[in-house]
């Protein structure tokens, strides 16, 4: 059987969720704006994190092309 504390915690969480749901429904556009801003920030961070990978690919491609020029027939 759940303790009184657990029951109160569940009730409190449910009340918070209900209040948040009502607030989200009232400010639909603001919620979407926040989602968009968050997605844009995450996209910028992702681009920053993969930049070294792009540099490595370019470097590897240049090395491969240089090796191919030295050894005919490997293009």
- Predicted TM-score (pTM) above 0.85: no
Of 18, 14, 61, 65, the C-alpha closest to 75 is: 65
The rounded mean pLDDT for the chain is: 87
Enumerate the domain spans of the chain: 4-70
Q: Model confidence over 5-46: pLDDT tens digits?
A: 888 889 889 998 888 888 778 877 888 888 899 999 999 999
Which letter does DSSP use for residue 71 in this model?
A: S
Give the pLDDT confidence score for residue 1 in this predicted structure: 57
Query: In whole angstroms, what is the distance from residue 72 CA to residue 75 CA?
Result: 7
Q: CB under 8 Å to 75, separation ≥6 — which residues?
A: 68
């Amino acid at each position: 059987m759940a303790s009184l504390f657990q029951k109160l915690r569940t009730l409190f969480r449910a009340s918070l969720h209900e209040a948040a749901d009502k607030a989200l429904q009232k400010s639909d556009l603001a919620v979407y704006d926040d989602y968009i801003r968050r997605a844009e920030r995450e996209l910028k961070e992702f681009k920053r994190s993969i930049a070294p990978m792009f540099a490595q690919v370019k470097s590897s491609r240049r090395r491969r092309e240089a090796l191919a020029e030295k050894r005919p027939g490997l293009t």
